[in-house]
Amino acid sequence: MGNWKMNKLISEANEFTSTIGPTIKKATEHNIDIGVAPTYLCLDEVVRSAPKDMLVAAQNCHYEPHGAFTGEISIEMLEELGVNWCIIGHSERRTYFNETDQACNLKIKALIAHHMVPLYCVGETLEQFESGITKEVVRRQVVDGLKDLTASEVKNLVIAYEPVWSIGTGKNASTEIAQDVCCYIRGILHELFGDASEEIRVLYGGSVKPENIRDYLTLPDVDGALVGGASLKIDSYQALLDNII
Ligand code: PEP
């Protein structure tokens, strides 16, 4: 999943989707889910102009269906556009917009009630990594973010492990760290949801590039990647896929 963050005008998003057809076709032939998360303002254009098999995710949503929440967008509004994935708890939202595990939990539950796919991001800051508390932090984010969900509700859930210190920094986590933490997350998911947790996909994110994506996607506990910078340019986006098939 490519996370475009606050990048691309509608015309630029349209330019991207108009040339992405062969890449999406190739992904589909290899049974790979592939998509992008544009800004709210580009969602409509991307849904309408993208090939039908391309996933389109929002980068955030509100958990209430409507009301006095200036500046927010509801899940029903996303649904109306044909958007059925939504990133939740990205570290930039946690850092700059004070998003808490409790708010993420409300959003995840609301998305699941609408049969949408929450792509829930977890990961430790550099300070937490250096203090050796990565697993403690990730456990709290997973347990609190998924609180009150039942085994029958989690089959559409996707988790992304994104160490904050590796996002947009070019300092990607080693494959050992990615495997260790993604495996740990799987263990927590199993504790919470039993065998149903096997349906939950776990992604790695943080400075994934065409040159290193294969190293991550061949790890036993990594099912995919959440990619920021390298998803913005069409050549690099295509190369991400080409390098894993
Ligand atoms: C992200 O935005 O989730 C991300 C991982 O960014 P980047 O690939 O640029 O590090």
Nearest CA to ligand 1 atom 6: 228
Which pLDDT score, from 0 to 100, does residue 170 have? Answer: 84
Closest Cα to atom 2 of ligand 1: 228
Q: Smallest Cα–Cα separation from 234: which of 21, 39, 9, 40? A: 21
Nearest ligand 1 atom, CA 160: 3
φ/ψ region of 157 (left if φ > 0, alpha if ψ in -120 to 50, else beta) reads: beta
170 CA: nearest ligand 1 atom: 10
pLDDT of residue 168: 87
Tell me the three state secondary structure of residue 65: coil
DSSP state of 207: S
CB-defined site of ligand 1, < 6 Å: 3, 5, 162, 167-168, 205-208, 226-230
CB 207 within 8 A of CB 171: yes
What is the predicted pLDDT for the residue at 5? Answer: 98
Active site residue 90: yes
Full-model pTM: 0.97
Residue at token pair 């096997």: 198
Instruction: Supply the pLDDT for residue 19.
Output: 94
Low pLDDT (below 50) residues in the chain: none
